[in-house]
Structure 1
Amino acid sequence: MAGIRTASRAPVRLYALDAVRITAALVVVLYHYVALGTAWGLSGTQHLFPALRPFALYGWLGVEIFFIVSGFVICMSAWGRTVGDFATSRISRLFPAYWAGIAFTTVVLWTLPELWRIDEWADILVNFTMFQGGMGVPHLDHAYWTLFEELKFYALFALVIRVGVTYRNCVMFIGLWTVAGIVAPSTDFKLLHFFAIPQYSPYFIAGVAFYLMRRFRPSGLLWAIVGCQFLLAQHYVRGRMVTNLGARLAEQLPAWPARLVIAAGFLAMAAIALGLLDRIQWRWLSTVGAITYPLYIIHMTAGITLIHHFRDKMPPYALVGTVTAAMLAVSWLIHRFVERPLSRRLRSAMRSGIEDIRQSTPVQVPPPPATLPAQRRERVPEPDLTRR
């Protein structure tokens, strides 16, 4: 995560942002490995993790925190860039690790077809595009659904970049997207609902507002935006609980812990925006932050499969710890030997291609303004000051 410069601060690397990201990733891992019974061949894991499961049941909220971080980071990284630069940055950042994650998950599923089987290899090929979510093609790993929501956000923010990323344009974008998110659920306009993303837009928008606080200064307007998004997000908490836990369990569980986790995420990002966590300068967090994305990409399907395969050979807590450590190790290998070198090559190739487009596109010089014929002025006689 690159440092940023504000009018009142020297460049500071946001190590705290890496800490938020890895925390969000690990709670999602905890949810998939501990709260869900899929890995254990059970309908529930109460007797396996009596102390840990009550917390793990709310681990899916790590995704919401990811979306806040994404809003912050995308606004930060897009400042001063063209659409081509932004596309180059995002594609070279997302796809190398994603491709490696698909390859890794495919190998695991092909080797251990215990829970899921690869029925259509063509579906895997479509997954390499990251567009399967819009085509009705199953995700190779269900965690990929969040990436498609991210792509929608990138497409929308590219419009801001096209007109220029400024304080004013970002606030206008926030306002328009907020209105779209409010209107979309009550209309049958599918395209509006598709891009408005009403369930998740409050988190992206709050992240953008937090970055504006960071870059400029906190203001009543920005705090009002953040507060509004926090309140709008509350409407979808119960629905998200049903989606992730099932209707029966969601009815039995209270919603206040979920709301508390969301509030904690907002407060953490507010602290980063205000510079309260700038003193956190632990360099190891940069490495931890770098493997967050590969970890998220590979942990779910492959990790659940491995837990299912070894569930009768190791104690539950030891197995979860071992598989988590293995996923972290594989994530580091992907980052070190795939993501870093391939990202550089992909970024260089894309820059070259975009430069070719720019050079091949004729620059349209606006015609000079038409010269209007001088209008003949009537001579106004000067007053005779000698007369009274």
Structure 2
Amino acid sequence: MTQTVVNTAQESPAAAAPPQAAPPGGRLRALDGLRLLAALMVACYHYGGRGGEITHAWGASPDRVFPVLHTPFAYGCLGVQIFFVISGFVICMSGWGRSPRSFLASRAARLMPAYWVAVVLVTAVFALPVVAYEAVSPSDALVNLTLLQQPLGVDRVLGVDWTLWAEVRFYALFAVCVVLPGATRRRVLVFCAGWILAAAVAQGARQPVLDLVLMPQYAPFFVGGVGLYLVHRDRRDPYAWGITAVGFLVGQHYAVRELWNAADPDAFAHRTSFGIVAVVALGFAAVAAIALGLLERVNWRWLTAAGALTYPFYLVHEHLGWVVVETLHRRLGVPSAATFALTVVSMLVLARVLNKMVEERLTPRMRKALAAPRG
């Protein structure tokens, strides 16, 4: 991601100062690496940290296939929360100084081409007679191309697309509240504080419409990432640190509430509340270290290439991974550890193909077409 030029004419002297944590305009390659690490965490969760369809793929419950690793793998689902923190950071950075048209064109071009291909690919593979997984109906598959399947109650092609629906709602809120009127430090702070407060009210009101718009369980992570971008711009900004702290404090609450299963003795994996809080804290700390420039030495070029694999890998790894696991482990008799490694590698190779053949070709064209002025 390329850091955009920032208009600071209306901001305070502290906020108007150039970023103190990283060279202006420099690419934060450590952030690319962290994105891929979060995706690999989610893959560990899907392949060995839960039950469900993956049990069929392995031929046994993953807690028997990975008797030691299945418990740490169960924490891999928190890679999603780390993704949301990174997204808050990146979206605030990329939206600063951009017009609404340019911002929305950039987001649509970033999300949709690889997503469309992943939906078609997974639908086609699941429809093959040799694959033992049920494909969604043709009608539902077509609805999935809109990314509106979740609010419409349609069967999902990709298990991970619920996170994209959360991302899209975040983009919309940020575009309306920050990008449309023009990004300034004060406006971003008001947006963050207002969203956290409104999300808390929505949680208390228990109104489905408010939950749909304000996303109480995800808002703290996006807000925390936005706060960390403000820290990246000025590490001495107490309000930015305050927004980040509130994002973490509220976010860990939701993470523990949703993922701690101590009350269920039959749960597949027993996450502890301490473990959940620790993983969330490490995610915030990692993004904070990048924001403060503490990882400037982690500037290897290969991290950019690795980061480019994150999104296509995230899209295809779960369902197509089931097919690879079943083929290698159950049909060919490959040991579980080797199957796990080969499945991850095969999904990374597929992600590389999608990145080169789809994203690098279609994303710039789509962005250009959507950003072009219309009479």
Q: Please report the TM-score for the alignment, with normalisation by the length of structure 2.
A: 0.89
Distance 2:47 2:247 in 1: 30
- 1:40 corresponds in structure 2 to 55
Would you say how many aligned residue pairs link Structure 1 and Structure 2? 354
Q: Which residue of 2 aligns with 1:338?
A: 358
Whether 1:14 and 2:31 are equivalent positions in the alignment is: no
Change (3 A) 1:73 1:140: same
Query: Alignment partner for residue 147 of structure 1, among 164, 170, 194?
Result: 164
Q: 1:131 aligns with which of 148, 164, 173?
A: 148
Displacement of 1:225 in angstroms is: 1.6
Encode CA deviations 1:351-380: one digit per residue, 9 max, x unaligned: 23xx11xxx3xxxxxxxxxxxxxxxxxxxx
How far apart, in 2, do the equivalents of 1:127 and 1:218 lie? 44
TM-score, reference length from structure 1 = 0.86
Preserved contact between residue 200 and residue 233 of structure 1 (Cα < 8 Å):
yes
User: Aligned with 1:175: secondary structure?
Assistant: helix
Partner residue, 1:96: 113
Native 8 Å contact 2:54 2:62 kept in 1: no
Query: 1:247 and 1:185 mapped to 2: Cα distance?
Result: 28
The answer on whether the counterparts of 1:4 and 1:12 sit within 8 Å (CA) in structure 2 is no
The amino acid of 1:172's aligned partner reads V
**Structure 2 CA distance, aligned partners of 1:48 and 1:194?**
38
2: CA distance, partners of 1:251 / 1:46:
8
Partner of 1:203: 221
Cα 1:328–1:271 shift into 2, 3 Å: same
How far the C-alpha of 1:54 sits from its partner, in A, is 1.8
Structure 1 equivalent of residue 2 of structure 2 = 2
- Where structure 1 has 5 or more consecutive residues not aligned to the other structure, the ranges are 361-388
CA–CA distance in 2 between the matches of 1:281 and 1:251?
A: 36
Alpha-carbon contact 2:74-2:271 (below 8 Å) kept: no
Q: CA deviation at 1:122?
A: 0.9
For the pair shown, which has the larger CA radius of gyration, 1 or 2?
1
Residue 246 to residue 130, structure 1, CA distance change in 2 (3 Å): farther
Query: Which digits, 9 at most, give the CA deviation of each residue in 1:120-159, with x for residues without a partner?
Result: 1011111111111121112101111100000000000011
CA contact (8 A) 1:76 1:211 kept: yes
CA contact 1:32–1:304 (8 Å) conserved in 2 = no
2:325 paired residue number: 307
* Percentage of pairs with the same residue: 37
Deviation of 1:309 (Å) = 3.5
C-alpha change, 1:43 and 1:201, in structure 2 (3 Å) is farther
Cα pair 2:35 2:307 within 8 Å, conserved: yes
Aligned-partner residue type, residue 16 of structure 1: A
Q: Which segment drifts farther, 33-42 or 221-230? A: 33-42
Shift of residue 317, structure 1, vs aligned partner:
0.9
1:214 aligned residue (232, 246, 256) = 232
Paired residue for 2:11?
none
Q: Contact 2:125–2:131 (CA<8 Å) still a contact in 1?
A: no
SS at match of 1:47: helix
| Contact in 1 for aligned 2:89/2:226 (Cα 8 Å) | yes
1:294-337 deviation per Cα after TM superposition (whole angstroms, max 9, x unaligned): 00000111111321233222111111111111100010000001
Structure 1 contact 4–13 (Cα < 8 Å) conserved: no
Paired AA for residue 297 in structure 1 = L
Please give the secondary structure, in 2, of the residue aligned with 1:280. Answer: coil
Q: Specify the alignment match of 1:118 in structure 2.
A: 135
Mapped pair 1:180 → 2:207: no
Paired residue type of 2:43: V
The equivalent position to 1:162 in structure 2, one of 164, 180, 191, is 180
The answer (yes or no) to whether the contact 1:307–1:320 under 8 Å persists in 2 is yes
What stretches of structure 2 of length at least 5 have no aligned partner? Answer: 6-17
On the 8 A contact 2:202/2:214 being kept in 1, the answer is: yes
Hey, what's the Cα distance between the residues in 2 that align with 1:55 and 1:310?
23
1: distance between equivalents of 2:141 and 2:83?
A: 25
Matches within 5 A, 1:223-234: 223-234=241-252
Q: How does 1:239-388 map to 2 (within 5 A)?
A: 239-241=257-259, 248-249=266-267, 252-312=270-330, 313=332, 314-352=334-372, 355-356=373-374, 360=375
Secondary structure in 2 aligned to 1:2?
coil
Distance change >3 Å, CA 65–CA 246, structure 1 → 2: farther
Aligned partners of 1:33, 1:251: CA distance in 2, in Å? 13
Q: Aligned-pair RMSD on alpha carbons?
A: 2.0
Partner of residue 365, structure 1: none
Q: Is the 8 A contact 2:63 2:268 kept in 1?
A: no
Is residue 75–residue 271 contact of structure 2 (8 Å, CA) maintained in 1? no
Tell me whether 67-76 or 338-347 shows the greater mean CA deviation: 338-347
User: Could you tell me whether the CA contact under 8 Å between 2:4 and 2:97 is conserved in 1?
Assistant: no
Distance 2:368 2:237 in 1: 39
Secondary structure in 2 matching 1:81: coil
Secondary structure in structure 2 of the residue aligned to 1:275? coil
Q: Distance in 2 between matches of 1:113 and 1:236?
A: 41
Matches of 1:318 and 1:139, distance apart in 2? 30
C-alpha deviation, 1:242, in angstroms = 5.8
Matched with 1:52 is: 69
Describe the shift of the 1:248–1:219 C-alpha distance in structure 2 as closer, same or farther (beyond 3 A).
Answer: farther
Output the CA distance in 2 between the equivalents of 1:119 and 1:147: 19
